[in-house]
Amino acid sequence: MDPKAGKTLERIASESLGKCASRLSRVSGGQWTVSAFRVSLRTMRELIGDYPASGSASGAAVYFTVTGEHPFTSMVVFRPEDIGVLARGFLGGPILKLPDLSQAQELLFSELGNIILNSLLNALSGAVGRPFIPSAPKCVKGEIPFLLEALWSSMEPTDKRGLVTVKLDLRCGDAVTGVEVLALIPPAMEAELAALEP
């Protein structure tokens, strides 16, 4: 990814998701913080290789697609080992294992993903000076590689794209867990973001 675009993305994402973490801390039973940030150029296969196999354990993900001049996809990934703590932070009790998503589970993940992704989307929209209209958030369950494939649904697995990855941590009592926010940045948007950096 262009270094200038990467620098702009880091500033936009860290500021917007930092504010989002503060808002989430006020409405949940735990403390949210931004713990990691990375801008990279990846293929789908390279991204999936970053995630260790979880056996048959299922996670969940919420994702948006944005159409228009700068179409892109963004996603919040909930790993299997994180789901119980996230539930305790928002619902006051553990969520059962996930053979299927219940309505309460889907609503929790959809709302949390909606808050996080809209924070990033609004910041990107403000930076490039045009509104983005996302699809309704979609909540899906499955093993992590399957979930990540949704990011590349309109591309070949070997296509390289700019990728923003941000990790948000939740501390709830003695437990620390988190979610990962991923956004694929199309080349046209990358060029506009690079032009914003002096």
Residue 48 corresponds to which tokens in the numbers above?
Answer: 């999936």
pLDDT one-digit tens code per residue, 24-69: 888 777 788 888 878 887 888 888 887 766 555 677 888 888 877 7
pLDDT one-digit tens code per residue, 114-162: 888 888 888 888 888 888 888 888 888 888 788 887 777 766 767 778 8
Question: What pLDDT does residue 98 have?
Answer: 47
Q: In this predicted model, which residue has the larger pLDDT, 101 or 15?
A: 15
From the number of C-beta atoms within 10 Å of its C-beta (0-12, 13-18, 19+), residue 53 rates as: exposed
Beta-strand pair 59-66/138-142: antiparallel
User: 3-195, what's its fold?
Assistant: Chemotaxis protein chec (3.40.1550)
Question: What pLDDT does residue 91 have?
Answer: 62
Contacts of residue 160, Cβ cutoff 8 Å, sequence gap at least 6: 41, 42, 43
Q: Is the pLDDT of residue 102 over 80?
A: no
pLDDT one-digit tens code per residue, 176-198: 777 888 888 888 888 888 888 77
Tell me the domain boundaries of the chain: 3-195
| Average pLDDT, integer, range 9-25 | 85
Question: What pLDDT does residue 183 have?
Answer: 85
Check: CB of residue 169 under 8 Å from CB of residue 177: yes
pTM: 0.78
Residue 172 corresponds to which tokens in the numbers above?
Answer: 């709830």
